[in-house]
Amino acid sequence: MADDRFYFRQLLAGMDVATDDVVAQQMVNFVYLLGDRETGEAMAIDPAYDIGGVLDVLAADDMRLVGTLATHYHPDHVGGSLMGHPIAGLAELLDRKQVPVHVQADEVEWITRSTGISADHLVGHASGDTVMVGEVPVTLIHTPGHTPGSQCFLVEGRLVAGDTLFLDGCGRTDLPGSDPEQMYLSLTQRLAHVPDDAVLFPGHLYSEKPAAPMAEVRQRNTVFRPQTQEQWMMMFAR
């Protein structure tokens, strides 16, 4: 597919949307938009904090929302209560747009509890499934570790990784549903087929740069330095 047909936006909550939201400014979440300019169809990845602002960006770009993709159930990515702070997300989006929410099958129960939305709105997927946005294929990769149903999205040479992998470090493995052994397998095996020239787009701005090629991440990120699972668990399990 020609590059000019593929639509992709990286929005920083607290700066590009939710500009007056103090929690968004502190959490520095990314919201992603991707789609097919020729058909005008788009999906939002982890829409949170400012649903109106996200929809306004799509409208300004002459794109229409046809679905959403969720990396995992945490409220800063899909909405809900974050330490007593209410965060807008999937529930508020569905009030405005009745679109399918594509999640990993193991995350369905967690997302319904986190957001309060019905499972009827969720489409549960297995790893390797493909979701089409217009004529743009999005490959879903199940990467448990941060949560049971964490997933990454590989699309047009980009890996949108949520909290599975950052440019520096990886998602926490000491939270409900976390599993450090599964995180190790996700980083070293489940993401192993992602090419070095794919560009990593993380779920938070935890580094100076908002994105980087996987080759650079694999070389610099300390989570890839251990040579065995035992070494990894000693360094990163917590």
- The fold of 6-236 is Metallo-beta-lactamase; Chain A (3.60.15)
Is 234's pLDDT higher than 80?
Answer: yes
Residues in the chain: 238
3-state secondary structure of 162: strand
Tell me what the mean pLDDT of segment 182-203 comes to.
Answer: 97
Per-residue pLDDT tens digits for 13-68? 999 999 999 999 999 999 999 999 999 999 999 999 999 999 999 999 999 999 99
User: How much is the mean pLDDT over the chain?
Assistant: 96
Question: Are 168 and 220 a contacting pair, CB within 8 Å?
Answer: yes
pLDDT, residue 130, reads 98
Tell me what the mean pLDDT of segment 195-217 comes to.
Answer: 98
Sort 97 into a burial class: Cβ within 10 Å, 0-12 / 13-18 / 19+. Answer: middle
In this prediction, what percent of the chain has a pLDDT beyond 90? 93
Kindly provide the b/e burial profile for residues 120-153, where b requires at least 16 CB atoms within 10 angstroms of the residue's own CB: ebbbbbebebebebbebebbbbbbbbbbbbbbbb
User: What is the rounded distance in angstroms from the CA atom of residue 71 to the CA atom of residue 69?
Assistant: 7
**pTM of structure:** 0.96
User: What is the rounded distance in angstroms from the CA atom of residue 109 to the CA atom of residue 118?
Assistant: 10
Per-residue confidence band for 12, with pLDDT thresholds at 50, 70 and 90: very high
Per-residue confidence band for 1, with pLDDT thresholds at 50, 70 and 90: low
Question: Are 153 and 70 a contacting pair, CB within 8 Å?
Answer: no
pLDDT, residue 202, reads 98
User: What is the rounded distance in angstroms from the CA atom of residue 198 to the CA atom of residue 234?
Assistant: 29
Closest CA to 182 of 226, 222, 231, 233: 233
- DSSP H stretches of helix in 43-123: 51-60, 75-78, 90-96, 108-115
Per-residue confidence band for 2, with pLDDT thresholds at 50, 70 and 90: low
3-state secondary structure of 13: strand
3-state secondary structure of 7: strand
Per-residue confidence band for 83, with pLDDT thresholds at 50, 70 and 90: confident
3-state secondary structure of 30: strand
Q: Which pair of tokens denotes residue 106?
A: 């193991």
Per-residue confidence band for 4, with pLDDT thresholds at 50, 70 and 90: confident
Four-residue CA torsion sign, 16, 60, 157, 192: positive
Contacts 24+ apart (CB under 8 A), 124-130: 125/151, 127/151, 127/190
Per-residue pLDDT tens digits for 151-180? 999 999 999 999 999 999 999 999 989 999
